Structure 1
Amino acid sequence: MHRPKSTLEQWRILQAVVDYGGYAQAAEQLNKSQSSLNHAVAKLQYQLGIQLLEVRGRKAYLTEQGEVLLRRSRHLTQTVNELEQLASNLEQGWEPSLVIARELVYPMDILTDALAKFLPESRGTRITVVDTVINGTNELIVNNEVDLAICGMPPKGYIAEPLCDLEFYLVCHPQHPLAEVGELEDDHELAQHLQLVIKDTGVNPTQEIGWLKAEQRWTVSNFHEAKVILSKGIGFCWVPRHLVEDEIKTGKLVRLKVKGASTRRIVLTLVVPQRDNQGPACKLLESIILEQHAQSSSELTPYMLVEL
């Protein structure tokens, strides 16, 4: 079995000598004697059979070989520091990873802003974001497969914090036959055209996003795919307002209006499936998401209270 010739302590001392500009300065910072640092570096060089430092005047300088090895040593000591921090976090109950279920319609930029604020306080917690639709979200909640869930109406028996009232627009390409009609008197004319819908991600899907009276339907996985199809002049689709506002402004898509049903709305909520077992990292991220969403509410319709 191979035994290392050097120790982490020797590499940390070498790093300190370089970072603080000499043995005396490093000794003061590390609260060690200068002679002990000299001995540690000299022994390290002897064990490796290579010169790492050369002293000029009162300052120590890295050799070319020393620069290469010092750079690699920093990765090593940083990894050990992170490992020790992780052990401390686990001892305190800090979660090493969190899984978030995001209903596909929830604005990813708002969630990303929240995660960016969480990052400096995360202690290395890994984040997985799972995009879900309708029953797929609720199944993950019921099966306790996620730590946080942003969903529409949550499953029965789960408490949810309302986030926003999200608006959908009915859109199509400007050259689509429906774009020439103006305001539709009812939904019968829609039923004669191809509709694009978003697939439920549940194991046993029972729903798809959108009005479903059209006999012709294409089902896709997300709204980005739907927008690509719409850009080809094919079909119509209900799409969250924030995903199509730019295309509507530039004329790439047009908004259709049906008398008595020009928009659709859904309430999005934040659910903690295992509230009794919620850890400190999850609690922190939950509070940041709520705070970030409140700050970003101008992007969406303001908070509305709902009874669940």
Structure 2
Amino acid sequence: MDRAKSTLEQWRIIQAVVDYGGYAQAAEKLNKSQSSLNHAVAKLQFQLGVQLLEVKGRKAYLTECGEVLLRRSRHITQSVTELELLANNLETGWEPSLTIGREIIYPMDDLVDVLSQFYPVSRGTRVTVLDTVLTGTAELINNETVDIAICGGPPPKGYLAEPLVDINFNLVCHSNHPLAQYDVIEEDQTLAQHLQLVIKDTSLGPNTDLGWLKAEQRWTVANFHEAIVILQKGLGFCWVPEPLVKAAIENGELKKLNLKGSTKRKATLSLVIPNRDKQGPASEMIEQLFKKHHQIESI
């Protein structure tokens, strides 16, 4: 295997000369002598047999070949920097990747707010978010498939949970749907005669479909956004998180149904760390950011 003709240091020097506008400025930023930078660039050009820079007045400019090579060099030096950072992170126990299990009723805006605070200090940690429903969330926790979980309702047996937020559900249909004529629906039989939309449990084992009211006609979909599209077409009724349908109810597109004995449902979303013994510093930071976001004091 042939040895490389150039070094990363040489490419970093020429990048600095270009970025800072000349040898003198780059020398000051890199805390090196101007002559050492001149020598490094000259040697690099000699080794490659290509002129990379030309000096006009007091400023150095890239040649056409220099532009092409410098652009490619930035990818290489950045990759090496990230590789060295990853090595340091692994040495200190910082996780290179994290998986978050998110019950789909947890507001995406809240999740993005938390992760946007984590991103600037994430050290390159890759984050995967898995949307889950009902016992699918519990399954991920029990199998320790995720590092952090936000579950709806009580956590699986043997796990501690930190309540984060309550989500209210509204039973809704299209404003032109036959059910919209009722001020109060008093009999379950009334609902049973119409199509209900339910959300599919993500568990691989026996599952429960979210919000099913035993309607004889049932369509099962993967998430609430799909259910809302169907509702907007005038089909079916469904229990939907209040934040997702508030605007549609206010503008009259969808109608909130009043079911006698159950006008509203509520789910408490909680934060669960499936394995505290294996929790790393990145996971701990995200956990604290969730608590801070929901104004929960850490102990």
Q: Distance in 1 between matches of 2:164 and 2:251?
A: 29
- 1:136 touches 1:205 (CA, 8 Å); kept in 2? no
Kindly provide the amino acid, as one letter, of the partner of residue 161 in structure 1: E
Aligned to 2:244: 243
Which region of structure 1 is more displaced relative to structure 2, 31-40 or 133-142?
31-40
Kindly provide the amino acid, as one letter, of the partner of residue 57 in structure 2: G
Q: Per-residue CA shift, 1:75-113, capped at 9, x if unaligned?
A: 221111111111111100000000000001111111011
Kindly provide the amino acid, as one letter, of the partner of residue 48 in structure 1: L
Give the Å deviation of 1:32.
Answer: 2.5
Kindly provide the amino acid, as one letter, of the partner of residue 141 in structure 2: I
Q: Distance in 2 between matches of 1:18 and 1:52?
A: 10
Q: Distance in 2 between matches of 1:231 and 1:270?
A: 33
Aligned to 1:8: 8
Give the Å deviation of 1:18.
Answer: 2.0
Between the aligned residues of both structures, percent identity stands at 68
Which region of structure 1 is more displaced relative to structure 2, 137-146 or 180-189?
180-189
User: 1:261 is paired with a residue of what secondary structure?
Assistant: coil
Aligned to 2:174: 173
User: 2:189 is paired with a residue of what secondary structure?
Assistant: coil
Q: Distance in 1 between matches of 2:212 and 2:26?
A: 70
Report the TM-score, using the length of structure 2 for normalisation. 0.94
Give the Å deviation of 1:178.
Answer: 0.6
Aligned to 2:282: 281
Q: Distance in 2 between matches of 1:25 and 1:164?
A: 53
Give the Å deviation of 1:20.
Answer: 2.7
- 1:100 touches 1:147 (CA, 8 Å); kept in 2? yes
- 1:51 touches 1:63 (CA, 8 Å); kept in 2? yes
Q: Distance in 1 between matches of 2:28 and 2:228?
A: 63
- 1:210 touches 1:238 (CA, 8 Å); kept in 2? yes
Q: Distance in 1 between matches of 2:35 and 2:278?
A: 52
Kindly provide the amino acid, as one letter, of the partner of residue 262 in structure 1: T
Give the Å deviation of 1:229.
Answer: 1.4
Give the Å deviation of 1:50.
Answer: 1.3
User: 2:188 is paired with a residue of what secondary structure?
Assistant: coil
- 1:200 touches 1:207 (CA, 8 Å); kept in 2? yes
Matches within 5 A, 1:105-120: 105-120=105-120
Aligned to 2:92: 92
Q: Distance in 2 between matches of 1:28 and 1:232?
A: 66
Report the TM-score, using the length of structure 1 for normalisation. 0.92
User: 1:189 is paired with a residue of what secondary structure?
Assistant: helix
Give the Å deviation of 1:252.
Answer: 1.4
Aligned to 2:143: 143
Q: Distance in 2 between matches of 1:2 and 1:289?
A: 51
Aligned to 2:19: 19
Give the Å deviation of 1:211.
Answer: 3.7
Unmatched 5+ residue regions in structure 1?
A: 296-308
Matched, 1:54 2:54: yes
Q: Per-residue CA shift, 1:30-88, capped at 9, x if unaligned?
A: 23332222111111111111111112233322222222222222222111111111111
Kindly provide the amino acid, as one letter, of the partner of residue 222 in structure 2: S
Kindly provide the amino acid, as one letter, of the partner of residue 23 in structure 1: Y
Aligned to 1:304: none
Which region of structure 1 is more displaced relative to structure 2, 14-23 or 141-150?
14-23
Aligned to 1:70: 70
Aligned to 2:161: 160
Kindly provide the amino acid, as one letter, of the partner of residue 83 in structure 2: L
- 1:10 touches 1:40 (CA, 8 Å); kept in 2? yes
Kindly provide the amino acid, as one letter, of the partner of residue 61 in structure 1: Y
Kindly provide the amino acid, as one letter, of the partner of residue 200 in structure 2: K
Give the Å deviation of 1:194.
Answer: 1.4
Kindly provide the amino acid, as one letter, of the partner of residue 43 in structure 2: K
Give the Å deviation of 1:197.
Answer: 0.7
Give the Å deviation of 1:213.
Answer: 2.1
Give the Å deviation of 1:245.
Answer: 0.7
Which region of structure 1 is more displaced relative to structure 2, 2-11 or 16-25?
16-25
